[in-house]
Structure 1
C-alpha cells in the first residue's frame, strides 16, 4: 500500500544490539474523510514524509490509517482537530506490536504441518521455507506441478514460479497468473498466495474444475530480498534492496514498470519509499515479472497481484482517473469475488479503479499487464489487516487466507465462464 517513508527508513532510531529498526512509541491513527475539504487536507498531509499513510482511499467514509513518530504526533493531532477530523488511536505503541509479532513468528514451527508436503499458516513463512514447500510439491505432485526460476533477485535469491496443471499434458492452455510480495512489508500477501497454491495442489479434487482448461502460474514472493529484510531489519521496509546511492537502497517495484513510469504518485528521491527507480525496469525482480508476462502472450487471461492492506479489488488505471475500454467486464468479474467474500464471511470489499478508489499511482504492474502485456483482466487485491498492526496477527493468517481464496476462486470461475463463452462465439 501507499506510504511516505522517505526519511523514516533511514533516520528511524535503530536498536544497535538487535540491529532492528525500532518503532517504539509510534502510534497508528484511524479516521475517515467525510468531505472534499478533509480529503484535500489528508492528501496534503500524505506529502509529508513524516507520516506513513497505510491507507488513503478516495471514497468518503472508508477507514484511513497513518503511522506517526512520537515527535510528530502533537502536530498531526492538531492538524486533524483543526480540520474537524475525528480520530482514534488504534495502536498506542506500534514498536511493541512489531516486537511481539517478531518474537511470536520465531517461536512456532515454520514449514510443516503433520501431513507431508503441507505448509503451516500459523506463522509468516520465510523465503527458505517457501522455497522448500514449492520444491516438495514439485516432487510429490510431479505430474501436475513444476517449479522454475524466472530470474534472480539483486541478492541472488531465485524468483520461483510454480506452474500448476491438471496433469493432462495439454500444452498452451489459458493461464491465470498471480504474484505476491512486491511490497516487502505486506506479509499477508505471500501467505495468501501459498494458500491458493495449497488449495490447487493439495486439495486438487475439490478444485479440479479450475484447472480443466487453465494452468495457474503463481510467483508467491516476487521481492524476496526486501521481504527478508523486513523480517530481519526493518518491519516496514517496502522496496527492493539494490543500492541506489551511498545512503539509500531499494526501489518501489510497483512504480518501476515501463508504462507512464515516473509520472504520478512516485518519487525521484532515492530514499523515498515510492522511489520509482533510476529507470523503468531498473530492478531484476520487475524485469523477471515483465518477461514472465510477455512469455504468456495470448494465453494469460487474468493477472492478479496480492497486496495489503485494505479491503479492495482494484483494476486499471492507476496513472489516470479515466477507465480502460473493457472496464465494465473487469468490474463485473471483480464484483463476483467481492460478492462471494461478502456472502461467505461478511467482509465488504470495495471495487473500482486504483486512481478512483484509492489514489493515483503510475508505473505499476497492474497498468502494465493490461497496456503492454495485453492481459485482458488485470486486478490488484488488497487484503485486510484484521487487527491494529500492519499485518494480521498470526492467529488470523489462515482465516484471512481462506477468505482471500473464496474471492479468488469466484473470480477464476467467472473468468473461465467468460472466456468459454467468448471461445464458443468465435
Structure 2
C-alpha cells in the first residue's frame, strides 16, 4: 500500500491496528491470499501459507471494522495485537536515539545505519590486527554496503553472514552486530576459537537504502529503493537471488511488497553482494542469512521437501543448534526446508550460495517472534534474541564438526 511513497513523505501509523489472523482451513487460506492480492490498503507482513499458520496484518483506522466483520463472517480467527502501532514504533525509535558513543555498541535496543558504520570503523581502527573494514559495493542511492572481515589467522575457511535485506527488519542487523562483537571482543571461549579457526565476512545491513527509508520515512518499508515500472519503487531483495528465481512465493507485480524484480540479480545490492561472495566462494565453509521473523531455521532448498546435498546432516545440526538456542529463554524454532516448514519462497541467498559453492553449512534464520509482533518486536526482546542466536551459531559450528560436516 506504500509502493509509491516518495523520499519527502513521512508516514505515521497513528491508530493503525495490528491483527494476528489464523486460518483454520484451505478455504480460509485462499480467502486471505485473495485479500492480500486485491486489498492494497491492508499490509500483510507475511503471506498466508497453510492452515494453522498465523498472518500478521496491519489495517488503517478506517478499515478496522470492515476487516473484523469480514473475518468474523467467515469464522476466521483474529486477535487484535495492538490498536495503535505508532506507539510501538516510537518505543523502537527511542531505543535507537538515546545512547551511545562511537566506541560502544549497546544491544538492549535497535541500531541506526550510522551507528553500525561508525562502530565498524572503530573496530577496524582499534582491533586492526583482527578486523578489516570491507565494502561489497553500493546501493541504488549510492550508499556503501559495509561489512567487516574478522580473521585472527590467515588462510582459514570462511563464514559469510548477512542481515537487513528487508528494510523494516531492524532486528537482524542488531543480532548480526552482536555476533561481530562476540567474535572480536567477547570472552566466550567458543567465540575466540571460532574467530581463530575461521575468517568471518559479515554484512549487517545489505539493503541500506531500505533501512534508512524505514528509519526516516516509512517504518514498514521492506524493499530497496530502485524505481521500477510506473510510479512503483523497490524490489524484495530476499527473493532476487538466482536460485529457482520466481518459481514460488513471490509477486511479479511491482506494486507488491514481495515483488521479485525483472530477473535474478536485477538489483545493485544483490549483484554487489553476490560478486563479493564469489571472491570467497572457493573457501566458503558456511553461509548464515538473518531476517525477522517467525522463529524458523531454514535449510536449502526452498522449492523442495526432498533431501538435496547434505540435507540430512544439516537437519541434525540445525535441530541440535536450536536446542542450544532454546536453553536461555526457552525460545523454540522449527527446522527444515522452506517448503516443509515455511512459505516455500524461492530465490533466496542461502539457496543460491549452497547451489553455487556447496558450503557444508547454509541456513536462513527467521528470528523472533512467532506470536504475532513481527516488525513490532518489543525492545525488551532484542538482547535475548541476540544472546540466544549467538549461542546457536556457536552450536552450529560445534555440531557440524561433531558429525564431520566442517
Whole-Å Cα distance in 2 between the matches of residues 331 and 46 of structure 1? 32
Given the alignment of the two structures, is residue 32 of structure 1 paired with residue 22 of structure 2, yes or no? Answer: yes
Whole-Å Cα distance in 2 between the matches of residues 405 and 229 of structure 1? 28
Whole-Å Cα distance in 1 between the matches of residues 231 and 282 of structure 2? 43
Please report the RMSD computed on the Cα atoms of aligned residues, expressed in angstroms: 2.5
- After superposing the two structures, state which structure 1 stretch, 365-374 or 343-352, moved more: 365-374
Residues 91-132 of structure 1: CA deviation (Å, up to 9, x unaligned): 111233324433x145401444xxxx3312243222222111
The answer for the alignment partner of 1:328 in structure 2 is 312
Task: Identify the match of residue 395 of structure 2 among 410, 415, 420.
Answer: 410
SS at 2:15's partner residue?
coil
The answer for the alignment partner of 2:171 in structure 1 is 188
The answer for the alignment partner of 1:85 in structure 2 is 76
Whole-Å Cα distance in 2 between the matches of residues 213 and 416 of structure 1? 12
How many pairs were matched up? 403
Given the alignment of the two structures, is residue 219 of structure 1 paired with residue 224 of structure 2, yes or no? Answer: no
Task: Identify the match of residue 124 of structure 1 among 107, 110, 121.
Answer: 110
Structure 1 position 189, deviation (Å): 0.4
Structure 1 position 180, deviation (Å): 0.2
Are the aligned partners of 1:57 and 1:358 in contact in 2 as well (CA < 8 Å)? no
Structure 1 position 9, deviation (Å): 3.6
* Pairs within 5 Å for 1:141-220: 141-165=127-151, 167-168=152-153, 170-171=154-155, 173-203=156-186, 206=189, 207-220=191-204
Structure 1 position 193, deviation (Å): 0.3
Structure 1: gaps spanning 5 or more residues = 1-6
Structure 2: gaps spanning 5 or more residues = none
Are the aligned partners of 2:324 and 2:392 in contact in 1 as well (CA < 8 Å)? yes
Whole-Å Cα distance in 2 between the matches of residues 234 and 133 of structure 1? 25
Whole-Å Cα distance in 2 between the matches of residues 391 and 190 of structure 1? 15
Task: Identify the match of residue 8 of structure 1 among 2, 20, 27.
Answer: 2
* Pairs within 5 Å for 1:98-113: 98-102=89-93, 104-105=94-95, 107-112=97-102
The answer for the alignment partner of 1:395 in structure 2 is 380
Are the aligned partners of 1:188 and 1:391 in contact in 2 as well (CA < 8 Å)? no
TM-score norm. by structure 2 comes to: 0.90
The answer for the alignment partner of 1:4 in structure 2 is none
SS at 1:20's partner residue?
coil
Whole-Å Cα distance in 1 between the matches of residues 323 and 51 of structure 2? 21
Are the aligned partners of 1:178 and 1:217 in contact in 2 as well (CA < 8 Å)? yes
Given the alignment of the two structures, is residue 233 of structure 1 paired with residue 223 of structure 2, yes or no? Answer: no
Structure 1 position 412, deviation (Å): 2.3
* Pairs within 5 Å for 1:281-292: 281-292=265-276
Are the aligned partners of 2:107 and 2:383 in contact in 1 as well (CA < 8 Å)? yes
Whole-Å Cα distance in 2 between the matches of residues 331 and 100 of structure 1? 37
Structure 1 position 346, deviation (Å): 0.7
Structure 1 position 23, deviation (Å): 2.1
Structure 1 position 328, deviation (Å): 1.2
Residues 255-304 of structure 1: CA deviation (Å, up to 9, x unaligned): 21122223322222222211112332121110122112222223212211
